[in-house]
Amino acid sequence: MKKWIVPAGVLALLCFFLFREYQVARITSPRIFVESELILFRTPSEYIFGMGRIESPRAKSIIRGMLPFFSQTEVRDIWSIPEGEALMGPDFVIQRVSPNLVRLKCSEQVSWWIGNDFSEKEKAIAVAAGVPFSSDWWMMTKNRLPEFFSLPSQGILYGGDRSPSPKTIAFAKEKEIPLISIKETEGFMLSYILDSWELKTRD
C-alpha cells in the first residue's frame, strides 16, 4: 500500500467535514421541512421546532443535516409549550394560543401550526388571545381548516401521510391558495431567501 493513501483519505474526510460545516453555517434564513407526519422549522439562530414524528429516524437525519456537527440543539415539540405561554428567541416568538393552535413569527414571517384535534370550539380561545390571524403559512398533518382565520398569503403545507381531503383541496382551489402536500412531492423544503420562499422537492 502506498504511504500517501491514508493521509490523502484523512485529508479528504477533513475537507468534506469542513465543507459541510461551512454550508451549515451559511444558513441564515428560516427553513421548513415537511415529510410524512412531520413538520420541522429551523430558525436562523438554530432553534428547531417541530410537530409530528420528531423522534423518527427520518426526522433525526434531517435535523443532523441542518445543524453544525457539534451542536447541542434539540427539537422543541410545539405541543410541549404550555397553553397561553410564549417563547422568545433572538429572531422568533412562538406562542401556544390554544390547545391546537401555535403561532410562530420568525424573520417577519408568520406560520400557524394547526393540531390534529382542532375544532371550531377553539375559535373563542383564539379570539380571546388577541393575536392577529394573518399569516404566511398554515401547517398541518390532518385536514383541519381554521376558516375564521385570515387566509395565508403563501399557502397551506400539508404533511399528512394521506392526500389532503376533497374539502381541503376544494377550499384551496376556491380561495386560490397554494396547497403543497407530501403526496405530490415525497417531502419538501422551503427556504426564505431574499424576501421570498424557495421550494425544493424530493420527487
**C-alpha cell of 173?**
382551489
pTM, 2 dp? 0.82
Which pLDDT tens digit goes with each residue over 98-141?
999 999 999 889 999 999 888 778 888 888 888 999 999 999 99
Phi, psi of 63 (to 5 degrees): -60, -45
- At 148, which amino acid appears? F
Rounded (5°) CA angle 30-89-36: 45
- At 69, which amino acid appears? F
Count of CB atoms situated within 10 Å of the CB of 111:
24
Which pLDDT tens digit goes with each residue over 131-161?
999 999 999 999 989 888 999 999 999 998 8
The yes-or-no verdict on residue 19 having pLDDT over 50 is no
Rounded (5°) CA angle 130-134-139: 105
Tell me how far CA of residue 39 lies from CA of 4, 131, 163, 188, in angstroms: 45, 23, 16, 10
